[in-house]
Structure 1
Amino acid sequence: MTHRTTSRLTLQAVLFDMDGTLVDTERLWWEAVEQVADGLGRPLTGADQAEVLGRPVEYTAAWLGGITDAPAEEIAAELHREFADRVRTGIVPRPGALRLLQELVHEGVPTALVTASPRAVADTVLEALGAGHFAVSVTADDTERTKPAPDPYLAACRALGVEPAACVAVEDTQTGVTSAEAAGCAVLAVPSLAPIAPAAGRTVLASLEEVTPARLRAMVAPRELRVMSWNLWYGGTKVDDHREKQLKAIAETGADVVGLQETYGNAAEELAEALRWHHHRAGENLGVISRYPITARLGDPDVGFYGGTGVRIRLDGGQEVDVWTAHLDYTPYGPYEAAFDRLPANELIAHEAVRLEQMREILRGIAESATDATPVVLVGDFNAPSHLDRPDVEWPVTKAAEEAGLRDSYREAHPDPVRDPGHTWSPIHGEHEDGSGRPEPQDRIDFVLHRGLRVRDSRTFVSGTPRPWPDVAGNHWPSDHAAVVTTFDVPRAD
C-alpha cells in the first residue's frame, strides 16, 4: 500500500501579463494613446498614467471621451489601429523574457498569457514570442470584466486546472498587480514605467533578468518544515503490523522529514519506498527519510549502534537544511540513578560522560559540514534529560548542544516544564520493568534541536492509547517512545 501525506503548496503555473512585462508594449501603448489624445487636443501628462497603463482599450477610450466629448467608440477604434500598427512594427521582448519562458517550458511549469489587450493584438504578440510557450491565453475579449478585476487571472487558473494560490502572476503595472492579487496569486512585479511598492505576497524586481524558475518556486514554496524525531523501538517489531502503523503515524503528523533511531536494518528504506520519499541509512540503527530531495549525506555512513548521521535536503525554492539524527547510549541511565539510587547532581553529571562525548562528536560533524548560514536540525533519542527541565541538575548532553548554538524547539514552544513536561519516555512503561511495582520515571529524552529556524509549533505525538508492557502487540502505537514533531518557519533561499 502506498501512503501519501498531505501535499504542500508548490508552484503550479506562472501567469504572465503581456504589455510591458513580456514585451515592451507599454511604451507602444502610451505612444498610441498619446497620438490619439494629441489629435483630440488633450495632450497626455505623467498624471494620466493611471488611466492609461495596464488599462484595456475601452477603459482608456471612455476616459478620453469623457474629457474631450469625443465618441468613445470612435476613440476605441482609433486606439486599436494605432496600437496594432506599432505592435506589428515595433515589438521587442523585455530583457530576460524569452530565456525565462524557455526555462519554464524545459522544467515543465505551465504558463499562461493574461492580458487586457484584445485578442487580435495578443495573437500578434504570441506569434512573435512563440505561441508554444503558453498553454493558455486570456485576453480582454475572453472575460466580462478585465483588469483590475480578478476575472482574467481566475479564468487562466480555471483553464489550466490550477489553484491561484499556487501560481505566480508576473505584472508590470499596479492595475495588473491589483487584478492578480484579487485572484489570490502571488505576484512578481517588474515595473516598466510607473513604480510599484513591495507588499506582503508581492515581490518587486527591476528586470526579468533577475528571475529564475527556482525564484518563482520560492514565492509559493512552503516556508514550513515539519520535522519528526522517532525511536522505532527494535524497528517496530514488538508490535503487529508495525510497518503499516508506522506509515499511518507519519501520515497523521504531516511530517516532511523524519529522523529515525533503532531502525534495525531496512526501516528507512522501506518507509521511504512506501511514501515515495528519499532516504538515508547509516549503520544498522539510524536513518533519515524526507519528502524533499537529499543532496548530501553527512557523517560516518558506517556509524555504530550509537552515534549520529545527517543529510542535507533541498526545499522547494532552493533553501537547503541539514538534518541530523542521533541515538546516544542508554546506560547508565540518569533518571534511574536519580529516582532509584538518589545520586547527587555531581555524580549524575559525571555519569553522562559517554553520552556527552557522543554528543560532542556529533556536534563536531555538524560544525564541519555546515556553514554558519546553513539551518541545522538535530533530532534524536539522547537517553538523557534536558538541563532546561530539571533545574537541580545541569544535565550536560543538552547543555553541550545549546552551547554549540542549537536550541530546544519543544522548550521554545513550551517554556514551562512543569505545565508542559513533554515526556517521551515512556507511553507503555508506567511501572519499572523489574517487577518491583516502582513507578517508571517519566522524562523527556527525545528532542528536536535547531539552529537558524523559527519554531512555529512543537508537540509530542502518540497515536491511540497504548497498552502497557508487555501486552503491546496489538497497540496502534508501535514504539516505546513518544515522537517529537516540530514545525519550523524556514527562511527563503534568496
Structure 2
Amino acid sequence: MDGTLVDTERLWWEAVEQVADGLGRRLTGADQPEVLGLPVEYTAAWLGGITGAGAREIATDLHREFAHRVRTGIVPRPGALRLLGELVREGVPTALVTASPRAVADTVLAALGAEHFAVSVTADDTEHTKPAPDPYLAACRALGVDPAACVAVEDTETGVASAEAAGCAVLAVPSLAPIDAVPGRTVLTSLEEVTPARLRAMVGPRELRVMSWNLWYGGTKVDDHREKQLKVIAETGADVVGLQETYGTSAQELAEALGWHHHRAGENLGVISRYPITARHGDPAVGFYGGTGVRVRLDGGQEVDVWSAHLDYTPYGPYEARFDGLPAAELIAHEGVRLEQMREILRRITESATEAVPVVLVGDFNAPSHLDWPDVEWPVTRAAEEAGLRDSYREAHPDPVREPGHTWSPVHVEHEDGSGRPEPQDRIDFVLHRGLTVLDSRALVTGTPRPWPDVAGNDWPSDHAAVVTTFAVPRADPSDPAELADGMGASAH
C-alpha cells in the first residue's frame, strides 16, 4: 500500500531519515533497499545495527514519526481515487494489503474511503509480512478467490516479491525505487494508465467474438435493412465483424451507428470493430472479390489480425455436384479461380503477419469445405488449412452430419431457375483462425425468414447465415512494451 495508492512511500522515507539523523546517520539513495516496502521492525533492526541504538526504541520512534506524517500529509497518488471508484462500480472485490501496522493502515483507509475495500490485511494480521507471501494469501482467502485470479498493484520490489510468491499477477507502479519489467509482470509509470479493463486482461485469457456476414447487396433486398443489421450485430455481442457485399458505405454506416471503428476496401469488403484499428492490410482498392484485413488492439494490449474475404461465385460447386453430377476431380478442377483468390489472400496474410499476433480469416468463400464432403477435397478450404488456419465451426462441431452448419441459404429454398428443384444447402461462410482457442461457434439466422422472393419484410436481412465464433485470446506478453496487458478479477494493493 505504501506509495501505491497514497504517497506514503515518501512520508516513510522522510520519517526514517528523521530518526536516522537523530542517531547520527544520514541516509542516501543506497539505503533505500533497507527501508522501502519493508516492515518497521526490519528497518529498526537495520538502523540499530549500524548505529548501536536499541531496535525497540527505534521502532517506537519510526512509528511515531510516520504516523504523524500520515495524519498531516497523506496525498492519494494520481489516478488512485478514480481507479478505486471504477472498481467498486464494476463490482471488482478489492483488498488493501500493506506492510504497515493497523493503526497506519486505518488512517490511510479513512483518507481513501474504507468503502472501496472489501478486505484489509496489515503487518499485524499475519505471522510473516512482505516479502513473504502470507499477506496476499490471507487477502485472497478473505476475498474467496484464487491468487491466480488476482492482480496485485505494487510499488516496491518487496511488495512485488510477496505478491508473486503468492501466485498473483503483478502490476508495478514504482514510487521511489525502479522495478524491472519481466515476463509475467507489468510495469507502468502511473495509476492514471490503469483501468479495470486493463487489469482484467492480466488474469486469464480474454474473449473475442468474431462474426462473418454477407450483407446481400448491402441489405437492400429487405426493408429497414440497416436497423435490422444493427439489431443482429448488437444481439450477437460481436466484437469484430467481417463484412462482404457491403455495396459501398455499409461498413462506415454500421460502425458510426455503433460507435465503432471501421475499414473499407473497394466497394464490397469491410471490417467493423469495437476495438481500435491499428493497421490496415491488403489492397484498399481491391475488386469485388478478394480480401482485406485490419489489426485490432484489444483492451489488454493484445493485437489480432482480422481479414474479410469474398470469393467468386461461379462456377458453383454444389450446383455442379447436385445438378450436373460432376465427379470429384472435375469439381476440384473447376475451383481454380477461387483457389487463386484464396492463395493471394493467404500471401497477403503472410506478408502482414507477425509471430505474436493471432490471425482470423472470415468470409463468404462460395465453396464448400473439404471437412464437410467426405468424397471431395475442396481445395479452397484445404489451402487455408495448409497455411495453418483452422476452421472454428468444425472445431466446435466436428460432425458435419449431425451439425452441418449450413450458411447458404436461409431464404433460397428452391433453385431460382424456376425448375422447382431444391436449392443445395451448404456451408460456404467461414471463420478460420490461427493462434486462438475456440470457445464456441455457430451459424446464425434470427427469426423465420420467408423464402425468396417474398423477403422484403424479413427480420433477417441477408440471404446467408452469419457465422459467429467466440475465441479465447492469450494475454499479451508483458515483456513487450507494445503489448502491456493489465487487469484483475480481484485486486490487492
Q: TM-score, normalised by structure 2?
A: 0.72
Identity %: 64
Deviation digits for residues 356-415 of structure 1 (CA, Å, limit 9, x no counterpart): 000001001000011233210000000000001101000000001111111111111111
Please say if 1:85 is aligned against 2:85: no
Inter-CA distance 200–428: structure 2 relative to 1 (3 Å threshold): farther
> Following the alignment from structure 2 to structure 1, what is the Cα–Cα distance between the partners of residues 11 and 361?
45
- Equivalent of 1:188 in 139, 152, 175: 152
Inter-CA distance 478–22: structure 2 relative to 1 (3 Å threshold): farther
Give the partner amino acid of 2:224: D
- Equivalent of 1:137 in 104, 109, 112: 112
Please say if 1:202 is aligned against 2:169: yes
Give the partner amino acid of 2:64: A
Deviation digits for residues 298-346 of structure 1 (CA, Å, limit 9, x no counterpart): 0000001100000010111211111000000000000000000000111
- Deviation of 1:203 (Å): 4.0
- Deviation of 1:435 (Å): 1.5
1:242·1:478 contact (CA, 8 Å) conserved in 2?
yes
- Equivalent of 1:436 in 419, 430, 440: 419
Give the partner amino acid of 1:486: T
Which position in structure 2 is the counterpart of 1:29?
40
Please say if 1:147 is aligned against 2:121: yes
Inter-CA distance 454–21: structure 2 relative to 1 (3 Å threshold): farther
> Following the alignment from structure 2 to structure 1, what is the Cα–Cα distance between the partners of residues 319 and 118?
74
Inter-CA distance 145–258: structure 2 relative to 1 (3 Å threshold): closer
> Following the alignment from structure 2 to structure 1, what is the Cα–Cα distance between the partners of residues 361 and 413?
28
- Deviation of 1:28 (Å): 5.0
Of structures 1 and 2, the one scoring higher in RCO (CA 8 A, sep 6+) is 2
> Following the alignment from structure 1 to structure 2, what is the Cα–Cα distance between the partners of residues 375 and 289?
18
- Deviation of 1:109 (Å): 5.1
Please say if 1:370 is aligned against 2:353: yes
Please say if 1:179 is aligned against 2:154: no
Deviation digits for residues 64-93 of structure 1 (CA, Å, limit 9, x no counterpart): xxxxxxxxxxx9x99775423257799xxx
Q: How is 1:179-328 mapped onto 2 (pairs within 5 angstroms)? A: 179=139, 182-183=142-143, 186-188=150-152, 192=158, 195-197=162-164, 202-203=169-170, 208-210=179-181, 211-212=187-188, 213=193, 218-221=198-201, 223-328=206-311
3-state SS of paired residue (1:192)? helix
Deviation digits for residues 399-457 of structure 1 (CA, Å, limit 9, x no counterpart): 01111111111111111111111100011111111121111100000000011111111
> Following the alignment from structure 2 to structure 1, what is the Cα–Cα distance between the partners of residues 330 and 209?
37
Give the partner amino acid of 1:202: A
3-state SS of paired residue (1:443)? coil
> Following the alignment from structure 1 to structure 2, what is the Cα–Cα distance between the partners of residues 478 and 484?
14
Give the partner amino acid of 2:324: D
> Following the alignment from structure 1 to structure 2, what is the Cα–Cα distance between the partners of residues 115 and 340?
72
1:17·1:114 contact (CA, 8 Å) conserved in 2?
no
> Following the alignment from structure 2 to structure 1, what is the Cα–Cα distance between the partners of residues 296 and 67?
47
Inter-CA distance 294–22: structure 2 relative to 1 (3 Å threshold): farther
Give the partner amino acid of 2:65: D
Please say if 1:480 is aligned against 2:444: no
2:393·2:430 contact (CA, 8 Å) conserved in 1?
yes
Inter-CA distance 408–86: structure 2 relative to 1 (3 Å threshold): same
3-state SS of paired residue (1:308)? strand
- Deviation of 1:296 (Å): 0.6
2:133·2:165 contact (CA, 8 Å) conserved in 1?
no
Aligned residues: 407
Structure 2 portions without partners, runs of 5+: 13-34, 88-94, 124-129, 182-186, 478-493
3-state SS of paired residue (2:299)? coil
2:136·2:163 contact (CA, 8 Å) conserved in 1?
no
Give the partner amino acid of 1:448: V
- Deviation of 1:186 (Å): 2.7
- Deviation of 1:491 (Å): 1.1
Inter-CA distance 32–308: structure 2 relative to 1 (3 Å threshold): closer
Further displaced range: 178-187 or 449-458: 178-187
> Following the alignment from structure 2 to structure 1, what is the Cα–Cα distance between the partners of residues 116 and 269?
57
Deviation digits for residues 157-176 of structure 1 (CA, Å, limit 9, x no counterpart): xxxxxxxxxxxxx9985324
Please say if 1:464 is aligned against 2:447: yes
Give the partner amino acid of 1:178: A
> Following the alignment from structure 1 to structure 2, what is the Cα–Cα distance between the partners of residues 482 and 270?
21
- Equivalent of 2:382 in 375, 395, 399: 399
3-state SS of paired residue (1:302)? coil
Which position in structure 2 is the counterpart of 1:385?
368
3-state SS of paired residue (2:158)? coil
Inter-CA distance 297–182: structure 2 relative to 1 (3 Å threshold): farther
Structure 1 portions without partners, runs of 5+: 1-13, 45-74, 91-97, 127-133, 150-169
3-state SS of paired residue (1:405)? coil
